[in-house]
């Protein structure tokens, strides 16, 4: 039997009409942190009843898009609130939003609504609110939200399937600004291809008419989502005015607005009821691969830098050995200056929780920055082996501490005797000068092969993402392309260079199309 609405037991926000109440929610921090630092929070209204199905909606939108009001509207509809009740219930209040804005924290919030099955819908509801995308702190900060979503999809008691992903924007939008387009494309780049037909546009602040400009904006920005037979994005419109005070001389209009909203909610919840639930397993793999790619590229850039430094020193040392070949042979005390590459430990002085996962064997940075030892950073380890460092070393050779390794080069003085001793073959005799030069050439070849393998590993990761990701043109991939194109070109691998350039052109064309549409709408 559905739960009865008893507003007298709730915390009143204002008398109205409509009277506004804060719903009593039970909070659990899924990441086991305290309330002040938790980044993965679950709020529950009522108690789950196993006999009823549950539908899960994930919402994303820019600040000011009306996402919070939409969440409250969805909860009120599921609870069966009618206009004549003259009440309005909230799980997100203005107070919540102000607190979050002031603290500048990013937290994924999960709202569960149980006990109202049968009032308007035959299922319970779970809403995932994802603030943080498009934050002024940039792509690295958005990676934190991505990590939280992956944690939510991976932990016990988290979310294992999604029925709808709602892209929230104003129906009055005649263009997608760079921030909103980035938010939507960032979110869709986290999902597998199985999720496309479950992604829909939720248009807020609607006047009831078809939002033609907003739909065109989505099309021009090439946002991945479900499409109808006319290739238009599947959308639902909402007016966001239900909680506004009702004047006695304007009650008729207020009722019309409320009924319009309920009709829209009925359509959207009907879509939810018929939507095929999608497992998040494929999406988790996409997130895994994106994180592996990021870690791989960061490590690759450092390793390639180290390799190139070693190659430079070998070339310098070869020239020195050739220049002083006669003196080295004739005088074992002859001094010569040689170059050598070495690693130093550099302390991290950024955020107090910022650390790095490093390999002691390889003296490499496998994951940095790392704000806590989590599913996200542990993902670089497969079968207790690191997927990033050169030696693919075991987990017990890795630590998470407040330091990183940094490559440096120095000049050291040495003698002919020391040079020959360094290349002494198991006490069987000294090598000739010619053999020493050959050793350096062989070492140079090994370094070249190691560098090529690093590049191939990164390319394979990108190819895998191309196959499984819904949105292949993600910002996290795009930021690595110039580096990979340059190094693949140096390697002489024209096939891979052409493919990477093609990917870059596709991403640039997508961005140019959105920019062109924005300019047109401004005019």
Q: What are the tens digits of pLDDT across the range 81-107? A: 999 988 999 998 765 554 444 344 578
Question: What is 369-394 written as a DSSP string?
Answer: EESSS-HHHHTTEETTEESSSTT--B
Sort strands 403-415 and 335-347 into parallel, antiparallel or unpaired: antiparallel
Q: Is 136 exposed, middle or buried (0-12, 13-18, 19+ CB in 10 A)?
A: exposed
Helical pair 178-188 and 475-491, crossing angle rounded to 10 deg: 80
pLDDT 10s digits, 263-301: 999 999 999 999 999 999 888 888 877 777 777 777 777
Lowest mean pLDDT among 74-78, 138-142, 448-452, 510-514: 510-514
For the segment 105-121, the average pLDDT, to the nearest whole number, is 88
Q: Is the pLDDT of residue 110 over 90?
A: yes
pLDDT at position 100: 47
pLDDT at position 514: 44
Percent residues over pLDDT 90 in the chain: 19
pLDDT at position 7: 58
What is the number of other CB atoms lying within 10 angstroms of the CB of residue 129? 22
pLDDT at position 275: 94
3-state SS, residue 253? helix
Q: Is the pLDDT of residue 146 over 50?
A: yes
409, 309 Cβ separation under 8 angstroms: yes
The neighbouring-strand residues paired with 410 are: 340
Distance of CA 363 to the CA centre of its chain: 27
The neighbouring-strand residues paired with 26 are: 44
**Can you list the domains of the chain with their CATH numbers?**
7-278 (3.40.50.300), 285-514 (no CATH)
313, 341 Cβ separation under 8 angstroms: yes
Among 85, 104, 101, CA closest to 93: 101
What H or E segment, with its residue span, contains residue 403?
strand 403-415
Tokens found for residue 365: 């940075």
Q: Is the pLDDT of residue 411 over 50?
A: yes
Lowest mean pLDDT among 42-46, 351-355, 398-402, 479-483: 351-355
Half-sphere exposure of 123 (CA within 13 A, CB side): 17
- Which of 67-76, 181-190, 253-262 ranks highest by mean pLDDT? 67-76
Query: What single-letter DSSP state applies at residue 83?
Result: G
The neighbouring-strand residues paired with 336 are: 414
Whole-angstrom distance, CA of residue 142 vs CA of residue 137: 8
The residue written with tokens 């702190």 in the block is 137
Q: Is the pLDDT of residue 238 over 70?
A: yes
pLDDT at position 319: 86
Percent residues over pLDDT 70 in the chain: 82
> Band of the pLDDT at 56, cuts 50, 70, 90?
very high
Whole-angstrom distance, CA of residue 507 vs CA of residue 488: 19
Helical pair 433-468 and 281-323, crossing angle rounded to 10 deg: 160
Tokens found for residue 13: 């926000």
pLDDT at position 27: 93
The neighbouring-strand residues paired with 54 are: 124
């Amino acid at each position: 039997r559905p739960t009865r609405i008893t507003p007298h037991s709730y915390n009143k926000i204002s008398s109205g009409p409509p009277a506004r109440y804060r719903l009593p929610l039970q909070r659990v921090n899924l990441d086991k942190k305290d309330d002040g630092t938790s980044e993965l929070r679950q709020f529950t209204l009522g108690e789950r009843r196993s006999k009823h199905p549950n539908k899960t909606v994930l919402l994303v939108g820019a600040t000011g898009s009306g996402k919070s009001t939409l969440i409250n509207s969805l909860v009120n509809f599921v609870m069966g609130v009618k206009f004549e009740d003259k009440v309005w219930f909230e799980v997100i209040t203005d107070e919540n939003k102000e607190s979050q804005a002031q603290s500048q924290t990013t937290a994924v919030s999960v709202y569960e609504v149980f006990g109202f099955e049968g009032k308007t819908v035959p299922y319970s509801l779970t809403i995932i609110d994802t603030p943080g995308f498009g934050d002024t702190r940039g792509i690295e900060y958005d990676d934190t939200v991505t990590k939280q979503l992956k944690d939510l999809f991976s932990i016990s008691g988290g979310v294992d399937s999604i029925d709808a992903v709602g892209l929230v924007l104003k129906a009055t939008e005649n263009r997608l600004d760079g921030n909103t387009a980035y938010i939507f494309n960032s979110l869709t780049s986290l999902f597998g291809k199985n999720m496309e037909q479950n992604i829909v546009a939720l248009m807020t602040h609607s006047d009831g008419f078809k939002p033609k400009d907003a739909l065109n904006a989505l099309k021009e920005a090439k946002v991945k989502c479900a499409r109808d037979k006319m290739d238009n994005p599947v959308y639902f419109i909402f007016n966001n005015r239900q909680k506004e005070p009702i004047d006695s001389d304007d009650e008729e209009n207020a009722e019309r607005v409320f009924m319009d909203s309920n009709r829209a909610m009925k359509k959207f919840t009907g879509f939810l009821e018929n939507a095929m639930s999608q497992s998040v397993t494929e999406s988790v793999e996409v997130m895994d691969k994106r994180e592996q790619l990021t870690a791989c590229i960061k490590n690759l850039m450092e390793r390639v830098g180290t390799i190139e430094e070693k190659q430079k020193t070998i070339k310098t040392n070869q020239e020195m050995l050739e220049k002083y070949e006669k003196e080295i042979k004739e005088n074992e005390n002859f001094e010569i200056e040689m170059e050598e590459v070495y690693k130093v430990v550099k302390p991290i002085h950024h955020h107090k929780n910022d650390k790095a996962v490093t390999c002691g064997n390889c003296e490499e940075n496998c994951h940095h920055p790392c704000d806590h030892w989590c599913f996200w950073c542990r993902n670089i380890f497969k079968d207790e082996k690191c997927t990033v460092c050169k030696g693919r070393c075991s987990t017990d050779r890795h630590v998470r501490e407040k330091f990183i390794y940094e490559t440096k080069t120095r000049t050291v003085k040495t003698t002919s005797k020391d040079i020959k001793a360094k290349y002494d073959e198991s006490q069987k005799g000294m090598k000739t000068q010619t053999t020493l030069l050959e050793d350096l050439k062989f070492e140079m070849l090994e370094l070249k092969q190691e560098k090529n393998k690093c590049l191939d590993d990164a390319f394979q990761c990108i190819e895998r993402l191309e196959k499984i990701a819904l949105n292949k043109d993600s910002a996290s991939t795009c930021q690595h392309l110039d580096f990979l194109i340059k190094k693949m070109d140096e390697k002489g691998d024209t096939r891979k260079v052409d493919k990477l350039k093609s990917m870059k052109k596709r991403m640039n064309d997508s961005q140019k199309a959105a920019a062109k549409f924005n300019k047109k709408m401004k005019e």
